[in-house]
Amino acid sequence: MGTFQTGSKVIVEFWAVVTRPPNVNGLGWSPSQADAAVRGIPSAIKLLPETQAIFTEWHSLVLKMGVSGKNVHDARLVAAMNVYGIDHVITFNESDFRRYQNIGVVRPT
| Higher pLDDT among residues 71 and 109, named by residue | 71
- Sequence-separated (6 or more) residues with CB below 8 Å from residue 18: 26, 27, 29, 33, 34, 37
Query: Domains in the chain, start-ordered, CATH in brackets?
Result: 7-106 (3.40.50)
pLDDT tens per residue, range 17-29: 899 999 988 899 9
In the chain, what is the greatest distance between 2 CA atoms, to the nearest angstrom? 40
Cβ atoms of 80 and 54 within 8 Å: the answer is yes
CA 2, distance to chain mean position in Å, is 15
pLDDT band at 6 (very low <50, low <70, confident <90, very high): low
- Kindly report, residue by residue over 50-77, the tens digit of the pLDDT: 889 999 999 999 999 999 998 998 999 9
The rounded percent of the chain whose pLDDT value lies above 70 is 92
